[in-house]
Structure 1
Amino acid sequence: MSGRVGESSSRRRRTAAKPPRCDRSITVFSPEGRVFQVDYARNSVKLEGITSVAVRGADSVCVITQRTKAPADPLLDTADPAFMHLFQITERLGMLATGMPADGRALAQQARNEAAGFRHKWGYEMPPKMLAQWLGDRAQVRTQHAGMRPYRVVATVVGIDEEKGTPDLFTCDPAGQVLGHKATSVGLKDQEAIEFLEEAMAANSSLSFQETMEMAVSALRHVLEDNSQGHDIEVGVVRKNYPIFRTVLRRIYKNPLAGQSILDGEGQ
């Protein structure tokens, strides 16, 4: 009798320790109405340890991100695309993937295929908003099927809308929510960067091309740690009068030297 009682108590303890199904399944809501696996995917974007910033000006968009720190392996080629977060989707469309690099590359390749198919079918460039909405649809589907997991990445889409002739900036999160922005930040210290942008852009949100780049770099520099060796970053820009998405690698410092341009640095 005592053995059965002990066995029953042990079973109850195991049952009590088992996490609820809503905490393990992508298809089950919690009692509070949340999908925990989607929340975990959002939070895991910060685990990459980098911060990204994007700013939309009057005639341009600038996206900027820290590079993923290479593992302590002297034989690794740190110039390899495995460490990159900026992707050229078409000649005129760019995407910044903040989060797991492997998920970012997979999402970028799917976006390239979709944009190429759109151009072949309709004869013109896929608008940035439409690409962002397509990415959102892809992400949202992965929150409904138990055999999938959400992407561990936030995609930032930039480009010039050919019909309106205006710069566009959108983000798509792991839940599939698509939002347009004047400026935004994603990653480890996103809230600090957003607060900086809100204050800095309160007086003037219609920025020139140079001001747009400086605003993005200043916001990222605001959240960086003081490091004498500097920080390697990726910069992507697209302009109305030259609507080609271009990327460049730079090294910036928390406190630049007097007279140094905000984008002066090493690497090209």
Structure 2
Amino acid sequence: MFLTRSEYDRGVNTFSPEGRLFQVEYALEAIKLGSATVGIATKEGVVLGVEKRVQSKLLESSSIEKIMEVDQHLGAAMSGLTADARTMIEHARVTSQNHAFTYDEEIKVESVTQAVCDLALRFGESTAGDEAMMSRPFGVALLIAGIDEKGPQLYHADPSGTFVRYDAKAIGSGSEGAQTELQDKYSKDMTLKQAELLCLRVLKQVMEEKLDQNNVQLATVTPRTAKDGRASGQFGIMNEAELQALIADM
């Protein structure tokens, strides 16, 4: 019995004759509707920047969290469904703390990204006794930034469970134009301050609203030495005063 196109569309774990999983492709399309998100890695650290869509004057902009801390040395920025992102980031936090408790060391940036992508693949139809599975793919992509012995790193993780390391990456609304701008302006020798300013300029280019300290969120991961003497990072989210000063320098 042959399935129609609509039946392939509905089945989250059924390949079409062309070898496509339509529900995963639709999840990837959902990310293009999300907030513009930019990540830039330099020798001095990593910068994450996200557009905050303030839909109403009555909305408290500080309550919109698009960048979250995973551990002291790494954080993540999201584009897509925020509720899905919270699930993924909570999984990353638990994985990181379990690693620290078991091995008395900070988890590698690539390892925590791998754990998040493993979770992204847990969708389909579960049976009794199986590990709980989700009914659909996640509708969110993450930019995961951190520092370990390999230096500053930036990873892109998407709903297909794929993760790739980038020097600079843009996701979300207007990501194609933003990525082109990053390719033109990015340099491996740029300072962290230059990366912060480039991040804001790229966001300004793709945002519909005028950029100010209330509708963007910026975070950095800068180098530090862990308690065991290994190279690590310090994650921090900029406050409104720091953002205002940075915007004035543009």
Q: Which residue of 2 aligns with 1:33?
A: 19
Pick aligned residue for 1:141 from 108, 122, 125: 122
SS of the residue aligned with 1:47?
Answer: coil
Tell me if structure 1 keeps the 8 A contact 2:155–2:164: yes
Q: Which residue of 1 aligns with 2:210?
A: 227
The CA deviation at 1:30 is 1.6
Q: Which residue of 2 aligns with 1:207?
A: 190
User: What is the aligned residue count?
Assistant: 234
The CA deviation at 1:31 is 2.2
Q: Which residue of 1 aligns with 2:85?
A: 104
Distance 1:128 1:141 in 2: 21
The CA deviation at 1:85 is 1.0
Deviations 1:124-158 (A, max 9, x none): 00111111111111112326868521111101111
Tell me if structure 1 keeps the 8 A contact 2:157–2:163: yes
Tell me if structure 1 keeps the 8 A contact 2:8–2:16: yes
Q: Which amino acid aligns with 1:25?
A: G
- Higher RCO structure, 1 or 2 (CA under 8 Å, sep 6+): 2
Q: Which residue of 2 aligns with 1:45?
A: 31
The alignment's TM-score, normalised by the length of structure 2, stands at 0.84
Structure 1 portions without partners, runs of 5+: 1-17, 254-259
Q: Which amino acid aligns with 1:133?
A: Q
Tell me if structure 1 keeps the 8 A contact 2:212–2:247: no
Deviations 1:85-130 (A, max 9, x none): 1111111110112111111112111211111001001110011111
Distance 2:172 2:124 in 1: 21
- 2:142 matched to 1:158? no
The CA deviation at 1:58 is 1.3
| Aligned counterparts, 1:189-208, within 5 A | 189-201=174-186, 204-208=187-191
Tell me if structure 1 keeps the 8 A contact 2:51–2:207: no
Q: Which residue of 1 aligns with 2:222?
A: 239
Q: Percent of aligned pairs with the same residue?
A: 23
Distance 1:30 1:91 in 2: 43
Pick aligned residue for 2:40 from 55, 62, 69: 55
The CA deviation at 1:35 is 0.5
Q: Which residue of 1 aligns with 2:228?
A: none
The CA deviation at 1:249 is 4.5
Larger of the two Rg values belongs to structure: 1
Structure 2 portions without partners, runs of 5+: 127-132, 226-232
Q: Which amino acid aligns with 1:195?
A: T
The CA deviation at 1:19 is 5.0
Deviations 1:18-61 (A, max 9, x none): 7531111111112221101001111112233x201110111210
Q: Calculate the aligned-residue CA RMSD, in Å.
A: 2.8
The alignment's TM-score, normalised by the length of structure 1, stands at 0.78
Distance 1:144 1:123 in 2: 37
Q: Which amino acid aligns with 1:199?
A: D
Tell me if structure 2 keeps the 8 A contact 1:232–1:252: no
Q: Which amino acid aligns with 2:198?
A: M
Distance 2:196 2:113 in 1: 22
